[in-house]
Amino acid sequence: MYDIIIIGAGPAGLSAAIYACRANKKVLLLEALTYGGQIINTNKIVNYPGISEISGVDFATNLYEQAINLGAEIKFDRAISIDTKELSVTTNHDTYKTRAIILAMGVANKKTGLENEDKFIGKGLSYCATCDGNFYKGKDVCVYGWEDNALEEALYLSEMCHKVYVINKTSEFKNKDLELKLKEKDNIHFILNSDIKSIVGENAIDFIEVIDKSGNITNLDISGLFIALGKVPENNNILKDIKTDDNGYVVAREDCHTNINHIYVAGDIRDKNLRQLTTACADGANAATMAIKEMR
Ligand SMILES: Cc1cc2nc3c(=O)[nH]c(=O)nc-3n(C[C@H](O)[C@H](O)[C@H](O)COP(=O)(O)OP(=O)(O)OC[C@H]3O[C@@H](n4cnc5c(N)ncnc54)[C@H](O)[C@@H]3O)c2cc1C
């Protein structure tokens, strides 16, 4: 029996583990992939108070080592469901009982739903220009999206790629300032009122088929396709009994208390305004403190 099971070893989960271990609690971290969460994808963090510059991997490793050295146990195993009455967590391999659960599963990339999407991940298809843009230096790429993050991705890629196409289903971009900045760039080309019909290639992307509002199809030769539709909370099975908002984020106030006793939420998966490291770590601290205070 654990005192606290934390699902997700990103900044929120690791911060929660540090606070729980320092209170002498028996902590299990469950991590589906690798420790550190989304931040391992960034080269440079310059906005974490007290650290003027650090790489994402170093930041995550420091947090991880701090939690493990304090006594947290980690299992690299995906949590697939929780029993909110019994307070147990089932993973791909086992079921673990606990006195409190902290949900810190973060967010995942929103997908297009195109048939071949998963097949091309890492073979021309990416969700992160900062992480993968450099692979496409001097090449032609395409950004699919219309929110601010799509325009930011395009701007970033325009500094290293030959041509950057931006596909938008409508003719509107919400962020007019960013749109203007992009229009000033010679190598950015907008493809408006259009959608991707299919991604074509064998072992890598050869081209994408683009369909316009009238049904005309054109082939766009690109080496890289960057999907920039934003992020979504996942883990539908785990969140079954937990109250979420219309977008799937777990509803909780600053004390990180969910609608179910002894179950708390921390980090990007919580319904909040700012999804950053500082707020993820703060949530982790709050969630662990509340879990300890209310432990049965
Ligand atoms: C490219 C990039 C650059 C960024 N740069 C900055 C920056 O410079 N400064 C800043 O403040 N913020 C930055 N952010 C945002 C920051 O990374 C996030 O706000 C932060 O990582 C959120 O932490 P989290 O622990 O809530 O979630 P995440 O980091 O998403 O971690 C969640 C973890 O849970 C795991 N998980 C999910 N489901 C399960 C499951 N069912 N079972 C077990 N484990 C599971 C995931 O594998 C993941 O490791 C950046 C984000 C990205 C993508």
Render pLDDT for 286-296 as a digit per residue (tens, 0 to 9).
999 999 999 87
- The reply to whether ligand 1 has any atom less than 6 angstroms from the CB of 283 is no
Amino acid letter, residue 47? N
Sign of CA dihedral 235, 236, 241, 246: positive
Tokens matching residue 263: 């179950």
**In this structure, are residues 2 and 98 in contact, taking their beta carbons and an 8 Å threshold?**
yes
State the pLDDT confidence band at 63, using cuts at 50, 70 and 90: very high
Q: What is the mean pLDDT of residues 55-63?
A: 96
Q: What is the mean pLDDT of residues 153-176?
A: 95
Confidence at residue 43, expressed as pLDDT on a 0 to 100 scale? 75
At residue 152, φ and ψ (nearest 5 deg) are -65, -40
- The reply to whether ligand 1 has any atom less than 6 angstroms from the CB of 281 is no
Say if residue 205's pLDDT is above 90.
yes
Distance CA 121, CA 203 (A): 11
Distance CA 171, CA 161 (A): 24
Q: In this structure, which residue's CA is closest to atom 20 in ligand 1?
A: 277
Helix (H, G, I), strand (E, B) or coil at 215: coil
- The reply to whether ligand 1 has any atom less than 6 angstroms from the CB of 39 is yes
Say if residue 247's pLDDT is above 90.
no
- The reply to whether ligand 1 has any atom less than 6 angstroms from the CB of 128 is yes
Tokens matching residue 112: 């297009």
The Cα diameter of the chain in Å comes to 64
- DSSP conformational letter for 136: G
Q: Which ligand 1 atom is nearest residue 39's CA?
A: 17
Distance CA 86, CA 81 (A): 12
Confidence at residue 2, expressed as pLDDT on a 0 to 100 scale? 98
- The reply to whether ligand 1 has any atom less than 6 angstroms from the CB of 180 is no
Helix (H, G, I), strand (E, B) or coil at 262: coil
Residue 231 alpha carbon to ligand 1 centre in Å: 11
Confidence at residue 261, expressed as pLDDT on a 0 to 100 scale? 95
Residue in the block written with tokens 């320092």: 22
Confidence at residue 15, expressed as pLDDT on a 0 to 100 scale? 98
Say if residue 18's pLDDT is above 80.
yes
Helix (H, G, I), strand (E, B) or coil at 195: strand
- The reply to whether ligand 1 has any atom less than 6 angstroms from the CB of 235 is yes
Say if residue 146's pLDDT is above 90.
yes
pTM value is 0.83
The per-residue pLDDT for range 249-286, each reduced to its tens digit, is 999 999 999 999 999 999 999 999 899 999 999 999 99
Work out the mean pLDDT of the chain and round it to a whole number.
95
The per-residue pLDDT for range 80-114, each reduced to its tens digit, is 999 999 999 999 999 999 999 999 999 989 999 99
Confidence at residue 131, expressed as pLDDT on a 0 to 100 scale? 78
Extended beta strands in 124-262, E state: 125-126, 140-144, 163-167, 188-191, 194-200, 207-212, 217-221, 224-227, 231-232
Find the helix or strand (DSSP H, E) in which 156 lies: helix 148-158
State the pLDDT confidence band at 174, using cuts at 50, 70 and 90: confident
Confidence at residue 36, expressed as pLDDT on a 0 to 100 scale? 97
Residues comprising the chain, all counted: 296
**In this structure, are residues 72 and 27 in contact, taking their beta carbons and an 8 Å threshold?**
yes
Say if residue 30's pLDDT is above 80.
yes
Distance CA 138, CA 160 (A): 6
Confidence at residue 224, expressed as pLDDT on a 0 to 100 scale? 97
Tokens matching residue 24: 């002498």
Confidence at residue 54, expressed as pLDDT on a 0 to 100 scale? 94
Q: Which ligand 1 atom is nearest residue 80's CA?
A: 41
**CB neighbour list of residue 231: distance below 8 Å, 6 or more residues apart:** 107, 108, 109, 110, 268, 275
The per-residue pLDDT for range 34-55, each reduced to its tens digit, is 999 989 877 788 899 999 999 9
- The reply to whether ligand 1 has any atom less than 6 angstroms from the CB of 284 is no
Confidence at residue 231, expressed as pLDDT on a 0 to 100 scale? 87
Mutate to test the pocket of ligand 1, among 6, 19, 39 (most ligand atoms within 8 A of CB): 39
- The reply to whether ligand 1 has any atom less than 6 angstroms from the CB of 105 is yes
Q: Which ligand 1 atom is nearest residue 278's CA?
A: 11
- The reply to whether ligand 1 has any atom less than 6 angstroms from the CB of 12 is yes
